[in-house]
Structures are given as C-alpha cells and as structure tokens.
Amino acid sequence: MGGDAPSSTETTVHPSAVVHPEARLGRGVVVGPGVVIDAGAVLGDGTLIGPHCVIKSGVTIGQDNHLSVGVVLGEEPQHRRFAGERSFVRIGNGNTFREYVTVNRGYGEGESTEIGDDNYLMSYVHIGHNCRITSGVTVTSGAKLAGHVLVNEQANLGGQVGVHQFVRIGRLVMVGGGSVGRQDVPPFVLAFGVPAHAYGLNSVGLTRAGMPPVHRTMLKRAFMLLYRSRLGVSTALARMEAELGTDPYVVEMIEFIRGSQERGIIRWTKERDEE
C-alpha cells in the first residue's frame, strides 16, 4: 500500500463533506466530496459513501455498504399527513446503492423503513416509507416502490417496475421490466404486465438458486392448481395442501397466499403457457 493510502481501519472524510459531530462513523468508513451526514446518523465499518450523498438523522447503516453518487437515505416520507414524528431507516450489511437511489424513512412515530443484507439497488430506484426489503434482492434501474411494500429474499424487480402500496413480493419472484404490481406476487412466480399477471414459475431463477428438480416439479403442479385449474383460490389451496403439502416450497407458497389479505394475489394471463 502506498504511503498516502488510508489503512482498512482508517476513517476518511473529504474536506468538502459536512458531517455533523453527533454522527457516528465506524472504522474504515470513507466519505466522499460534497456528502452531508446529519446528527444521529450511524455508519457501520467499511461503508463507502460516494460524492454528494445525503444521510439524514434516523438512518442506521451496517457494515460494508456501498453508496454511489447522489444517494439520499432517510428523507421525510412522502405522505401528506406526515407531521414530523421521529422515524427511521435501518440498513443491514453488504448492500449496494447505485446512483441517485432514494430511501424514505418510516411514516408514523417510531416506524421504520428496513433494508436487510446483500441487496443491489440500481440507479434511480425509489424505496418508499415503511418498505421492507429482506436480503439478496435486486431492484433494477428506475423501479419505484410505494409505501409499506414487502420484498422477500432473492426477488428480482425489473427496470421501471412500479409497485403499489402494501403489495407483497414473494421469495425468488421475477417481475418483468415495466410492470405495475397492484397485487401480491406469490413466491417463485414469474410476473409481467400492466397490471402484472402470473406467467408461470420463475424457472430460471429457481435453477440458479440451486432448487432441486423434484421441488421445481412440485411447484409446477402447485402453479397449475392455483392458476390453470379454474378452481377458486380457497379450493386450489386446499388441493395444493392435500396433494402437495409435503413439499416445503409448496407450503411456503400456500402460507404466503393465505396471508394476502390486503391486496389479494395476481391473476394468470393466457398470453403464455407454463413451460
């Protein structure tokens, strides 16, 4: 390492950055030019803050996160009835926030917007108040999530996707670019359209995630019962449970659907058959 390079445990702050003395910066944090960090913000070890980022009060960031240019974390929720109550953004470890990502803090006293670990948020993504992004999620450029959206593990939202408030996105879901999510997307499903409809299983995603073929076969049968059998949802769930209920992934799908009280689940489209 050259003589002028900081060590991995040294915290460096560019002279043009404005860091409040009551902000807490961990070891090895690097703060770039033009950054503003407010009082009470907490940055974990090894986090890199790119040029012109803004980190507001109430934001806690874990270790080894990377913020690119112009990221804004913890701005007030975009809600007409917000009255200045104290709320938060809580971020885990190993996340990437590309250019101009915005994450609003929670709406309601003591409420929070939460982002877990190892997520990748591409340029111009917006995460609204009270959202929860779990882990291993990819949100592609220009996607926008309204308030109270839940995105489960390893889901992938395509470019310019819009998600309605209170919608739940299941684990290992793929939502195609330009889609509008108005209802919950069950786990392991491929969705696309305006509004988004179920096209089949996210077979490529399941394979890449290492799901064994026997479970993918069971999920295909579950999908057929749910979307292709012309049964009502409650009847389809009963059949899925009776015929496929020994498979843990089918059980996960059933439990997710039974929890879809706020928005209901997306419908099937006839434009493409399941492979």
Give 3-15 as a 3 state SS string.
CCCCCCCCCEECC
Task: Give the residue-averaged pLDDT of 45-73.
Answer: 98
- Give pTM, 2 decimals: 0.93
Predicted confidence band of residue 138 (pLDDT cuts 50, 70, 90): very high
Residue 203: what are its φ and ψ, rounded to 5°? -60, -40
Rounded-to-integer distance, Cα 134 and Cα 169, Å: 11
Hey, what domains does the chain have and what are their CATH numbers?
A: 12-148 (2.160.10.10), 207-258 (1.20.1180)
In the chain, % of residues over pLDDT 70: 95
- The reported pLDDT for the residue numbered 262 is 83
Predicted confidence band of residue 115 (pLDDT cuts 50, 70, 90): very high
- The reported pLDDT for the residue numbered 270 is 66
Quick: pLDDT tens for 206-244.
999 999 999 999 999 999 999 998 888 999 999 999 999
154-183 b/e (C-beta count within 10 Å ≥ 16 → b): bbbbbbebbbbbbbbbbbbbbbbebbebbb
Predicted confidence band of residue 9 (pLDDT cuts 50, 70, 90): confident
